[in-house]
Amino acid sequence: MFRSLPAITLMISALYGLETQDLSPEKQSLFEQQRQEIDSSRDKLRYDWISPLTLKASSTYDQSAATDTHNRRESASAGIAQDLFRSGGITYAIGYADAKYHADLLGLRKDMASAKAQLTTAVLNYQKNRLLLDQSELKLKNYRIEIFLKRKQYEAGDIDITLLNNALMNQSNELKTNAVIRMNLSHQKYEAAKLSDRLIETIQLPRFTLVSKETFIEDNWDLRYTKAKSESAAQQYGQVKSAYYPKLTLLANAGTQQYRVRENRLLNYSGNFYDAGLQLSYPLTYNASAATQEAQAAYLKLHAQSADTQRQIEASYKQTLMRIENYDRLIAITHENLAYYDELLGATKAAVTSGYKAGYDLQTLQNTKAIEAAEIAINDLNIQLELAALHFMIQHPQENP
């Protein structure tokens, strides 16, 4: 059973994780522009099979060198060459537009989840390093006490320089660790600042819980995206294949025309004209087979990738469970150690009160117990990091495209 962090360490602000509003305005604007681009691309592809209506207007003036006549011809017309049948190509074109739209939208949602995951990871690691820094400060207090006592023992001739030197080296190593932790805190602030305008200390996180294996597989972003790309490739394969089959086209043209001869009005005419017909065509292309096989291979590749992706996410889920169980065991061990420290503290306090022990012993034990207590919160944060990774790898109900 997973344990709760103190409220000061982890606070719940949303049901499903960080809100998109926690991201910077620039990041939100980028996602919005991508969404609009995806919408426009779908509309363009969905109706791309509809031919444009061609409008024409002309006015020409002519003077004949042979007969010295002057004439003017004016016309306006509208024409279209619209495919009525493409051996299924029209259906595939619409299907490809919809499938590509779905895949692109899933990709965008996946990127948004990834951005929120990065921000969440930075916040959790920041909280974790704050606890590590507290631990480091407590360790340094203990090393100072140890150095003080060993120096007194060395000056009294009770120990040799080796023990004092070891204590000094331990302090030196911890000071270096302390510096690294502070550097990590700065790095996590920087990582959060790249994604959000909010101070990292003010970003509130939900309490992440374990999702079932079935949900993790069914709603996994990577698997859904790969399947959507596979469906898009299948529609595109049908579209490419149909391009080398017969197609039926409607040809239509209508307009009005005027013709004027200045020298002979009997030749003038004005009226409407139109023509309509059907054209059946069958393209004979040398590379038709290669182009079709290429599109089919792209589809089969993505289809196979879906199965491989599912195997990977199943393995990832199992590994995450193993790491969580290990962190939970460490928490249980730390609880046992704390019970032992409570016994030692009780005995030490009594010894200090009666004068058998120095106050340094009590202070060292209290610091050590606080160091151990921090281990519980640190490993709980480790569990939250694992659960957050799972959380942002799946699509939640409110994130439906």
Same domain, 266 and 162: no
Same domain, 39 and 148: yes
Report the pLDDT value the prediction gives residue 373, as an integer from 0 to 100.
94
Report the pLDDT value the prediction gives residue 66, as an integer from 0 to 100.
58
Same domain, 224 and 265: no
How far is it, in rounded angstroms, from Cα 227 to Cα 395? 14
Question: How many other C-beta atoms lie within 10 A of the C-beta of residue 185?
Answer: 18
Range of the domain at 67: 58-85+249-281
Quote helix, strand, coil % in the chain, to nearest 5: 65, 15, 20
120 close to 17: Cβ distance less than 8 angstroms: yes
Same domain, 394 and 271: no
Is 4 inside any structural domain? no
How far is it, in rounded angstroms, from Cα 376 to Cα 367? 15
How far is it, in rounded angstroms, from Cα 310 to Cα 222? 9
**393: domain CATH number?**
1.20.1600.10
Is 342 inside any structural domain? yes
Check residue 324 and give left, alpha or beta (phi > 0: left; psi -120 to 50: alpha).
alpha
Same domain, 167 and 226: yes
Write out the two tokens for 104. 């692109």
Same domain, 171 and 234: yes
User: b/e map of 258-275 (b: 16 or more CB within 10 Å)?
Assistant: eebbeeeeeeeeeeeeee
Is 3 inside any structural domain? no
Same domain, 212 and 270: no
Last residue of a domain, one of 281, 296, 325: 281
How far is it, in rounded angstroms, from Cα 133 to Cα 128? 9
Is 10 inside any structural domain? no
Last residue of a domain, one of 233, 259, 281: 281
* Total of domains in the chain: 2
Is 256 inside any structural domain? yes
Write out the two tokens for 207. 């309490």
100 close to 41: Cβ distance less than 8 angstroms: yes
User: Does the CA dihedral 12-18-21-26 come out positive or negative?
Assistant: positive
Same domain, 112 and 160: yes
Report the pLDDT value the prediction gives residue 208, as an integer from 0 to 100.
94
How far is it, in rounded angstroms, from Cα 354 to Cα 356? 6
Q: Note the residue count of the chain.
A: 401
Same domain, 109 and 134: yes
Is 117 inside any structural domain? yes
Write out the two tokens for 256. 């009005």
How far is it, in rounded angstroms, from Cα 267 to Cα 261? 6
The pLDDT profile of the chain, 401 residues, written as one tens digit per residue, is: 333 333 322 322 333 455 566 788 888 888 888 888 888 887 777 777 777 888 888 888 776 655 666 777 888 888 887 777 777 777 878 888 888 889 989 999 999 999 999 999 999 999 999 999 999 999 999 999 999 999 998 988 888 899 999 999 999 999 999 999 999 999 999 999 999 999 999 999 999 999 999 999 999 999 999 998 888 888 887 888 877 778 888 888 888 988 877 666 666 777 788 888 888 888 777 777 777 887 788 878 888 888 888 899 999 999 999 999 999 999 999 999 999 888 888 888 888 777 766 788 889 999 999 999 999 999 999 999 999 999 999 987 665 55
Nearest partner of 47 among 103, 90, 100, judged by Cα: 90
Residue whose structure tokens are 């299948």: 234
Write out the two tokens for 133. 């820094």
Same domain, 118 and 171: yes
How far is it, in rounded angstroms, from Cα 367 to Cα 135? 9
Is 183 inside any structural domain? yes
Report the pLDDT value the prediction gives residue 240, as an integer from 0 to 100.
80
What's the pTM value of the predicted model, to 2 decimals?
0.78
Return the bridge partners of 247, or none.
Answer: 281
Same domain, 112 and 195: yes
Same domain, 92 and 152: yes
Is 303 inside any structural domain? yes
Nearest partner of 281 among 54, 84, 94, judged by Cα: 84
